[in-house]
Each structure stands twice: as C-alpha cells, then as structure tokens.
Structure 1
Amino acid sequence: MDERRATVLRAVVENFIESAQPVGSAAVLEMTRLDVSPATVRNDLAALESGGYLMQPHTSAGRVPTEAGYRYFVDGLGPGSLDSTGVRQVGAFFAHAQGQIEELLADTSRLLSDLTEYAAMVVAPNHDLDSIRSAQLVDLGGGRLLVVLVMSSGVVERTYVDVYSNPDLEAAAQGPAAGAASAVLAEALVGRTRTQPLVVPTTGDAATDALVAAALSALAADEPHPSELYVGGTAKITEQFEPASSLRSVLSVLEEQLMVVTLLRSLVDRGLSVAIGSETGMKPLAECSVVVAPYEVDGRTVGSVGLLGPTRMDYSKALAAVHTVSRRLSASLGDGDGAHVPTGFSRSAQE
C-alpha cells in the first residue's frame, strides 16, 4: 500500500487500541494531520477494508482493524523501549532478585504483568537440554541422602536416595564412603545432560560403589519434569474480554500448563515475536495476541517469557517489556558477574 494509506491504517490501529471504539475519518485526520480532505480519508478507509486490513462493525460506523491490519501494524514496529519508570522498575527488580530460580521466574512473571497490565507467562528451562554444572551427594544426617544437581540453566534438582530399606547402605551413608561417592558422582555427571548414557567405573570400595549405584538408580527413577510455567497477573485481563465466555476460554487455556508451554515454544521456534488471533493456532485465543521472547543461558535458549492480552493490546509497550525482561533474565541466569545463584549454593559449587 502507499504511504498515505499506511499512515491511515496505523492511525486506526493506534486509536482503536487506545479507545476500543470504531475509528472514523475525522479521528484519523486529527491524529495524522494529513493535508487531504475527509472524503479522501474515507476512500482510503474503504480501500483498506476491501484489502482486508479493516472491517466495519455495522453501517455508518467507523472501522476497526482485522488480524491482517494488526499484522501490518506490528511488522512495522521496531523493538521499542520502556519508559523511564519501566526501566527503573526492571533495574531495581533484577538488582535485588534473590532466592532459587523457581522464585525468580515466578517473580519475573509478576514483574512483566505489572509493566503491561496483561497476563504474563514465563517458561522455565527445559531440563532435557541442560548440562549438569554441579553434582553433590549430601548427607542430611540420620542416614538420609540427597542428590543435588545444579543444571547449566541454574535449575536445582533434588532427588532423595532411599537407604533405609538396606542396612548396609544406611551404614555406608553415615561413614566416609558418602564423601567418596559424592566425588565419583561429580566426576561422572558434570558436563553431561540427564538423558545422556552414563557409565561409571567402580572404585573397588564396596560401600562407595553401593552408594553410587543407589544414587544413580534414584536419578534414573526421578525423570526430569516437563518445563514449569509461571503465570502472573491473570486478574489483570478479566476486564479486557467481552463477553464473559471469551474470558472463560482464555482463562481455561492459561490453566493448561503443557498447552501454553507448547504454544510459546512453537512461536519461538518459528521465529515469531507476536502471534495475533488465529496465528496462535488455538481457537480459544482467537481474540487474543501473544508476545514472546526467548531467554538464554550460556548463549543457548533455555526458556521464554511472554504476554497474553486482547488483539487490541499495546504492542509497542508489550514488545519493549518482553524483550527488556528477557535480556535481563538472561543476564541474571548467566555465568557472568551478577548471575543468579540459587540459595544455598556458592558460585564455586555451580562452576
């Protein structure tokens, strides 16, 4: 389309996002200051409707954007930037973020929702692809053992080792064999993923080898869980969908963790930062848009952050918030200075 009609379309989209009311030629002229007559703008609106970019809810009403109109608008947006208040809010959050990664991701979802007033989603790292950064066999006392794995993404996995059912194991767990077994596990596991084949040579010490075998058996039985999903600000979208049946459909999707995780991963894999309406591939989200960005650890994508809102969402603000938060989350989980360290583990233990 020519530049004038592109300007008219952008004006309609921006006005409708702000007002939620059909947009007429007078409003377009007021926003754009185009040096043309109202009749010319009306012709442009009619042409954009014929081209599938706009629609008219009813006769004599103004126009509203279609999915194609929103897509044209979004494709013309740059990455955008948060306002000074948002920048300070994000900076303060990551400067003081503490606790384990699960807490960080949950808090990040609430931060992203607070920045935008939409429902925010954070997909935790995919354990299947993580390498093991640290492995320890921890003596909890009383013959209780715990295998603690710190993954490359910062996720901490804990697996209990049953020693009570075997008197010999219980005795070994209370002696020096426990420390030796921890060293053997670290040597065998660090640098590998949970799904890689593993061959651990015996040490020749029966107690140590028995503890190592018990720990490996417990790890094999405790398969990595699917990536967790953290959702923040669900209540913020309750007034953005009409009728109520539309809201119920959206909320039902947010309750299906695997469905949302699959959707966000699919969008990232397809290289999409915004999916509008039917582009999500999910009928209950026909009136929604999703904005998503991946976050990384050691240069590898491990998860994603996203926003869910109505198709008339403020795309510029949403894109800026998602990309800013994803970059800061990557830095927080990375290996450099300021990286996030799970509570209870020193940085040397992770490295």
Structure 2
Amino acid sequence: MAELDERKSQILRAIVEEYVETAQPVGSQTIARSRELGVSSATVRNEMTVLEREGYIVQPHTSAGRIPTDQGYRYFVDHFAASGALPVGQRRVVADFFASAHRALEDLLHETSQLLSRVSQHAAMVVGPESERASVRSVQLVALHPAVVLLVCVLSNGAIEKRILQLDGPVDETRLGAAVAALNRELFEASLQQLPELPATGDPDVDRVARAARDSLTEFLPEHLDQLYVGGVSRLAAEQESFSTSESAARLLEMLEHQVIVVSLVRDLLDHGVTVSIGSENRSADLRDCAIVLAPYDVDGHPGGIVGVLGPTRMDYRHALAAVASVSHQLGRHLS
C-alpha cells in the first residue's frame, strides 16, 4: 500500500472518523468545514477523487459522499489508531472488575467477555488458555471417608480442578499428608500434558495414594481450556444495518456457534502477527463484512489466551484497540 501525502492522509482520516460516527457518506463540504485543513471544499473534492481512484474510498450512490473501503480502514488503523487509550472512567471500570474478581476460571472468562463487550460496544470473545500450556501449581488431598479422598489441583492459569478418588484401601491423615508433599514436590510447574512419574517414597501406602492422584491428574482435560466465551452477541443484531447485507450478521452469529473454527481462526491470525483483520482481509467468507480486533494475554510470562472484539468494518478501531489492550493486560495480570 503506497504512502499518502499529508493532505490526502488527513482527508482519509476525516472520512473514516466522520463515517464511523455518523454512518452517513461523507462529502467534501463536511470535511472542509469540520477539519482545519486550510483548503477549499473544491480542493478536498479533488483529493477525494484521487483517494477513490486509488481504492481508499468509494461512492455508494451517485449523489452521495464517500465511505471508506477495507483498504481505507486499513490505512487508518496502520497510521492513526494505535495512539488511542480508554477514557479514564472505562479504565477504572476494567480495573475494578479484576480487583474484585474472585471467581472460578470458567466464570471469570465468561464475565470478562461480557465486560469487554460493554466497554467496546461490540460483541466480544475470550479464548481460554491453551490446554497444553497448563501446569500444576499445587495439589491437595482431602479425606472424605477412610478410602475416599477429594483431589484438588490448582493450575497455572487459575483453574481449579477437582476429582473424587476411590482408593483400594483406607489411608490415615499422616500418609495422606506425605502423599500431598510428594505430589507437590514432584509435580510443581509440571505440564498437565506431561506429568512425570513419581519416585518411590519408601512407604507403599503413601506411594499408592500419590500415584493414584497423579494418574487421575493425567486424565484432566479441563473443558474451559481453549474454550471460546462470547459476550454481547445481541450487539451484532443491533449493528445489522452497519453490515453490507442483512445476512452478514446472521452468518457471523452462526459461525460463532462453531467454537473450534473461531478459536483456530483467531489463533492463526495472532500466529501471523495480525491484531486487526478487516473485511476482505479475512479468509473466511462469513467474515468479509466484519472486522476483528485481537490482543493476546500472557499467564506467568507465557502465552495464555486471546481477547477480542468483532463487528462491522465501520468500527471505532482506536477505541476497540484500546479496549482489548486494557482487558488483555488486566486479565493476564489477574491469572498470573
């Protein structure tokens, strides 16, 4: 994409910002009146003709002004959207949410998607941490009956997994405590997908309990890991007029029901360094009228999951980028 000179760049910026705010095609007189460009509406009109010829804007109707194309939005995002920040009030809302968040991971991720939707005014999504990255933080065993214990495992992403273990014989509190010590000594920070074998402790009863717990941990496949949480879906219906066809929002809603597809799509975008994907840049035909704004979050310094917003290409990209950046940062801090 060729660089625009300063005047054309500012005129394109004005068209994008006016169109995002008003949803109406933007004319040269509007730009000349509302912007301090120091040129006449005739000069603006000539520059708009060049921008149209180069693919940045288009005239939807003969008598109308111009609206941005996907290429125009892309130029705006690359040159003008990165400097935005959430208003102070919204930053406080995000910070207060996580300061008071003491929920199970699944509930936290779901409510985070709702929070991001409220802040961004678009449908929002949160992808849980990848399952293969989850590691063991701590293990506890609680006696329920002489031969029945509750296994509680805290994972690196904040998840708390529980299982009931039926032992093949009773175990006393002393040996139960020794088994807990062995589990935490050997499994701390071990990947849930690659748990090491436990060495013998010298007490067969302790080994029996510890190995039963370790074997149960290998069967943990937490459902919320790699899960997709979508908040504010009703906003897509409310934004229906902003899509090019009435079917676009419906297709997007249907696509969101196919979790594996969406998770794969957003992870693929981030793997290629893409945080904003606009209209025709999306490989999926169902997303050709949509924009996606993404941000990864880290857990303990390692890649965790993803937060993002999606909606029509007529999106306030500066605000959307600021919203996902703020929420991803706070979520990562909370889970670390």
TM > 0.5: yes
State the match for 1:271 in structure 2. 273
Q: Per-residue deviation at 1:112?
A: 1.0
**Secondary structure of the residue that 2:62 maps to in structure 1?**
coil
State the match for 1:342 in structure 2. none
Q: Deviations over 1:234-293 (max 9, x none)?
A: 112212124442111111122222222222222222222211113232211111111111
Q: 2:106 aligns with which of 82, 102, 105?
A: 102
> In structure 2, do the counterparts of structure 1 residues 264 and 139 end up closer, same or farther at CA, with 3 Å as the change threshold?
farther
**Secondary structure of the residue that 2:33 maps to in structure 1?**
helix
State the match for 1:60 in structure 2. 63
State the match for 1:237 in structure 2. 236
Would you identify which runs of 4 or more consecutive aligned residues in structure 1 move more than 4 Å? none
Contact 1:138-1:146 at 8 Å conserved across structures: yes
Q: Deviations over 1:48-85 (max 9, x none)?
A: 11111111223232211111100000011224111122
State the match for 1:119 in structure 2. 123
Deviates more, 1:198-207 or 1:10-19: 198-207
Deviates more, 1:4-13 or 1:216-225: 216-225
Q: How does 1:108-147 map to 2 (within 5 A)?
A: 108-141=112-145, 143-147=147-151
Asked if 1:203 corresponds to 2:206, the answer is no
Asked if 1:18 corresponds to 2:16, the answer is no
Q: Deviations over 1:22-70 (max 9, x none)?
A: 1111122122232223222222111111111111223232211111100
**Secondary structure of the residue that 1:313 maps to in structure 2?**
coil
Counterpart-to-counterpart distance in 2, 1:125 and 1:73: 31
Matching residue's letter, 1:290: I
**Aligned-residue identity in percent:** 45
Query: Normalising by the residue count of structure 2, what TM-score does the alignment of the two structures yield?
Result: 0.90
Counterpart-to-counterpart distance in 1, 2:335 and 2:247: 39
Q: Per-residue deviation at 1:17?
A: 0.7
Q: How does 1:1-351 map to 2 (within 5 A)?
A: 1-76=4-79, 77-141=81-145, 143-163=147-167, 169-172=168-171, 176-196=174-194, 198-225=196-223, 226-242=225-241, 243-334=245-336
Counterpart-to-counterpart distance in 2, 1:202 and 1:38: 84
Counterpart-to-counterpart distance in 2, 1:90 and 1:222: 32
Query: Normalising by the residue count of structure 1, what TM-score does the alignment of the two structures yield?
Result: 0.87
Q: Per-residue deviation at 1:176?
A: 4.0
Query: Structure 2: where are the runs of 5+ without partners?
Result: none
Counterpart-to-counterpart distance in 1, 2:164 and 2:266: 32
Q: CA RMSD in A?
A: 2.0
Counterpart-to-counterpart distance in 1, 2:106 and 2:68: 39
Matching residue's letter, 1:11: A
Matching residue's letter, 1:108: T
> In structure 2, do the counterparts of structure 1 residues 272 and 101 end up closer, same or farther at CA, with 3 Å as the change threshold?
same
Q: Per-residue deviation at 1:142?
A: 6.1
Counterpart-to-counterpart distance in 2, 1:279 and 1:121: 19
Counterpart-to-counterpart distance in 2, 1:88 and 1:49: 41
